[in-house]
């Protein structure tokens, strides 16, 4: 990567969050890229860069994570509903009654 007269290197593991087998499938000569400087070695004149640190990190959730989020959302909805009714929200144990966790 040309940094205006100085060159920096993006290691393959720093191109994207997902595994990249061939950098040419992601980056092409002349592409503009946003990078984060990871390391500067003045003695060797090397700059290590990361493209992935500037990208949004996306992950697929496991079924367990999705179930936990759904349960938490159900608890929050129950508590909000009871607050609207001006009822005593009760204990957290009450919030989990009937939920499949």
Residue 92 has pLDDT above 60, yes or no: no
Look up residue 59 and give its two tokens: 């992950």
The reported pLDDT for the residue numbered 21 is 93
The reported pLDDT for the residue numbered 86 is 59
Q: Residues 50, 70: one domain?
A: no
The reported pLDDT for the residue numbered 93 is 57
Range of the structural domain that residue 85 is part of: 63-95
Q: Residues 18, 47: one domain?
A: yes
The reported pLDDT for the residue numbered 48 is 92
The reported pLDDT for the residue numbered 36 is 92
**Contacts of 47 by beta carbon, 8 Å cutoff, 6+ apart:** 3, 6, 7, 8, 9, 37, 39, 40, 41
**Total number of domains constituting the chain:** 2
What value does the mean pLDDT take over residues 71-89?
Answer: 69
Give the rounded percent of residues in the chain with a pLDDT score beyond 90: 29
Rg, C-alpha atoms of the chain: 24
């Amino acid at each position: 990567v040309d940094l205006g007269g100085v060159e920096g290197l993006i290691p393959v593991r720093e191109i994207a969050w997902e595994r990249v087998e061939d950098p040419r499938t992601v980056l092409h000569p002349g592409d503009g890229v946003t990078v984060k400087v990871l390391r500067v070695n003045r003695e060797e004149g090397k700059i290590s860069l990361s493209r992935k640190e500037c990208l949004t990190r996306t992950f697929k959730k496991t079924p367990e994570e999705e179930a936990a989020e759904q349960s938490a959302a159900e608890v929050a909805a129950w508590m909000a509903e009871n607050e609207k009714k001006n009822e005593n929200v009760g204990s957290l144990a009450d919030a989990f009654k009937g939920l499949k966790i």
